[in-house]
Amino acid sequence: MDKLHILTITLTPSSNPTIWTDNDLSKLIHGEVVVGYLLKSVKIDSERCSILNVYVIRPECLSSTHKIITAQILHYAYLQWVESLIEDPKSFMFRNPPLDKWLDTKQNWVKKITGKLSRSYSKPYDDCLSSLYTTILYCYNKGDVYIGNLYYLVVAANNRLKVEHRYMRNRLSGEHNDAIHLDASPNDFNNNLENSISSLHEIVGGVEDSYLKEDNDREVIKAIKTDLLLEFSEREIDQIVNAPGYLPNTLYRKLLKWRKAHKREDYL
């Protein structure tokens, strides 16, 4: 197979990255090479199992060998992940595959999501395609977003378009073809009108629309909660929002890590 694909390996005490050699790994992945991975714990028949998803590809399909992940790299990653399970049983660890190879396998998905975005926001297909690619690139470059989480990417793409939509609705300027700046006068649009009004500010007024503000606040809160739900449970979110005192240390550190990756400007 010439394209990137995923193999799932169930880890056991007798078969895991701490004891694999490069030859052992090569046999497990049928002579291909690893260029990305995800270590996670899943529940199967009420028991927790350790799973390793590896992104594999034929070595001749790579432009550079430095993208190859060896058995030794997996060894250290596995030990680090096992240690993290002590604090969080749902912890996972990953390294994303090369973006160009990943995108080669997701063209149908990209077309499908772009079509949905175009219909949802009544925007040209090409504009939504550009926005989706920008979102994917942004998430990939952050380094702390697993590119295989397609749901996260869809939410991020929707949030980007919502921000653009709110900007156009609440921060109109004369720089956009579909917007009318408030410094314009009625005479700019109809030369037959008397220029008794100096600008549209006098017609619209400077009082903020309370309904639009409340609607905008609701959208911002909804977007933040959607992002929080990707990493926090409903109970944890309720604790963060409504706790009268200090948060537990584990939850506080988890929230600090989340806040470093999510800026206030992302939601305004």
Q: Where are the domains of the chain?
A: 5-98, 104-230
Higher confidence at residue 223 or residue 264?
A: 223
The predicted model gives 157-164 an average pLDDT of: 87
Higher confidence at residue 206 or residue 150?
A: 150
- On average, the pLDDT of the chain sits at 82
How far apart, in whole angstroms, are the C-alpha atoms of residue 156 and residue 169?
Answer: 20
What's residue 173's pLDDT? Answer: 46
Confidence label for 197 from pLDDT (cuts 50, 70 and 90): low
Contact in structure between 34 and 79 (CB atoms under 8 Å) = no
What's residue 236's pLDDT? Answer: 86
Q: What percentage of residues in the chain have a pLDDT greater than 70?
A: 78
Residues in CB range of 149: below 8 A, 6 or more apart: 230
Place of tokens 């806040």: 259
The predicted model gives 219-225 an average pLDDT of: 80
Q: What percentage of residues in the chain have a pLDDT greater than 90?
A: 46
Predicted TM-score of the model (pTM): 0.62
Confidence label for 82 from pLDDT (cuts 50, 70 and 90): very high
Return the exposure string of 79-99: e unless at least 16 CB atoms fall within 10 Å of the residue's CB, then b: eebbeebeeeeebbbbbbbbe
pLDDT value at 50 more than 50: yes
Confidence label for 95 from pLDDT (cuts 50, 70 and 90): very high
Task: Write the CA distances from 46 to 40, 43, 108, 166, 210, integer angstroms.
Answer: 16, 6, 35, 45, 51
How far apart, in whole angstroms, are the C-alpha atoms of residue 163 and residue 171?
Answer: 11
How far apart, in whole angstroms, are the C-alpha atoms of residue 195 and residue 209?
Answer: 27
Strand 5-11 relative to strand 47-57, pairing = antiparallel
DSSP tally for the chain: helices H, then strands E: 10, 4
Residue 213, classified by CB atoms within 10 Å of its CB into exposed (0-12), middle (13-18) or buried (19+), is: exposed
What's residue 202's pLDDT? Answer: 55
Torsions phi, psi for 76 (to 5 deg): -70, -35
How far apart, in whole angstroms, are the C-alpha atoms of residue 30 and residue 41?
Answer: 24
Q: Which of 78-92, 100-114, 210-224 has the lowest mean pLDDT?
A: 210-224
pLDDT digits (tens, 9 = 90+) for 204-216: 555 555 555 666 6
Q: Which amino acid is at 198?
A: S
pLDDT digits (tens, 9 = 90+) for 19-44: 999 999 999 999 999 999 999 998 87
How far apart, in whole angstroms, are the C-alpha atoms of residue 32 and residue 79?
Answer: 23
SS3 assignment, position 24? helix
Which residue in 4, 267, 260 sits closest to 142, CA to CA? Answer: 260
What's residue 180's pLDDT? Answer: 58
